[in-house]
Structure 1
Amino acid sequence: MYICSKQTTMYRYRFTRFSVCMLFAVCTLLLSSCGTRAPRVDYRELARAAVRLEMDIDADDNHRLYVEVADWIGVPYRHGGTTHRGTDCSGFTSAVYKKVYHKKLQRNSDAQRTEDCRKVSKRQLKEGDLVFFHNGRRKRVANHVGIYLKDGKFVHASTSSGVIVSRLEEPYYRKCWMQGGRVKGL
């Protein structure tokens, strides 16, 4: 009887240990293969961004980009500026890229075009690409830059209105369009 009792105890111990190991393995497997993700940003921030940008923000969009550029809407234009107190177009793109993508861009529109980007056509533009414009006089030099969002809209620091969202199809931007640029390494 003593032997049977010892075996039964040993059997229960093995079963308990086996159960714990199996439970741990199954939980680890389920959690590691889980398809859900934590939200990238607070949904209240995302809703505020959608209102400020006057556009829908989808689940597949870069939420960090939209929240960041929404915080810049209305910031006044200031030549040479790079802060929320005032910014120029290349200062704006540099600041956003540093925060959202952890990339350092040149501080001049044409240098961003020639040194930081590879050329992209208007039809190939993706969210976060840079868009470059000339002033009509020097058509080979980019003197304005913005960040493409989607649906033909881009955000930029306008000399007259500060940071705003505009459409690529507006007559002025259609006339002064130069090229799109995808930042190298993204």
Structure 2
Amino acid sequence: MVKKPHILILPVLLALALSSCANSSRIRQERAPRAGDNCAALESAIRPWLGTPYLYGGTGERGLDCSAFVQIIYKQYRGIDLPRTTTLQYAAGERVQRGNLRCGDLVFFNNVRGRGVDHVGIYLGRDRFAHASTQKGVTVSDLNNSYYRKRYSGARRLRRP
């Protein structure tokens, strides 16, 4: 009879050990921040620009377009001088698969069929990106939004020279 309680305790201990492993593996699977991957600093650089109107060819507080927004933030946040146009920004850096996006990567879209990439934003993590929208000005949007999901063209990661 003494052996029966031990037999009952063993499965309970095994279940506790396995559930503990399952929880810790979930924690390990979350992406840890990498060097130079400071989303909080990036979001702080973007915050004052939120709501700034979209202005095609604009490069300042009165209004700016998507590539100017990215150019300004990248200079401020990373100290990197980017080209002025979306097409030239797309040609810079190394290609990144969508599943490997990191905070600060540039995300590109093809909004007008036949024009190639014509819109750019900055990835913020958790499928969010900041950009200058023609409708809302500087804003944060979701990559999983059907509009952006259909028009997603790729991403680039830029490194300091």
TM-score range, shorter chain: 0.7 to 0.9
- Secondary structure class of the residue paired with 1:157: strand
In structure 2, the CA distance between the partners of 1:133 and 1:98, relative to structure 1 (3 Å rule), is same
Q: What does the per-residue CA deviation read over 1:105-161, in whole Å, with 9 as the maximum and x for residues that have no partner?
A: 0111111011x221101101000000000124126x210000000100000000111
Task: State the identity %.
Answer: 40
Unaligned runs of 5+ in 2: 1-32
One-letter identity of the residue aligned with 1:70: R
Q: What does the per-residue CA deviation read over 1:6-47, in whole Å, with 9 as the maximum and x for residues that have no partner?
A: xxxxxxxxxxxxxxxxxxxxxxxxxxxxxxxxxxxxxxxxxx
- Secondary structure class of the residue paired with 1:132: strand
Give the superposition deviation at 1:101.
0.8
1:95 to 72, 77, 86: 72
Q: Map 1:11-160 to 2 at 5 A.
A: 61-114=38-91, 116-138=92-114, 141-160=116-135
Q: Is the 8 A contact 2:52 2:62 kept in 1?
A: yes
Structure number with the bigger relative contact order (C-alpha 8 A, sep ≥ 6) is 2
Give the superposition deviation at 1:184.
3.6
Unaligned runs of 5+ in 1: 1-57
Structure 1's consecutive aligned runs of 4 or more residues displaced over 2 angstroms after TM superposition are 60-64
What is the root-mean-square deviation of aligned Cα atoms in Å?
1.7
Q: 1: CA distance between counterparts of 2:118 and 2:40?
A: 28
Normalising by structure 2, report the TM-score. 0.73
Q: 1: CA distance between counterparts of 2:48 and 2:82?
A: 20
Q: 2: CA distance between counterparts of 1:159 and 1:64?
A: 25
Q: What does the per-residue CA deviation read over 1:82-114, in whole Å, with 9 as the maximum and x for residues that have no partner?
A: 212211000000000111111110111111011
- Residue 139 of structure 2 is aligned to residue 164 of structure 1: yes
Show the counterpart of 2:9.
Answer: none
Normalising by structure 1, report the TM-score. 0.64
Q: Is the 8 A contact 2:108 2:152 kept in 1?
A: yes
Aligned residues: 126
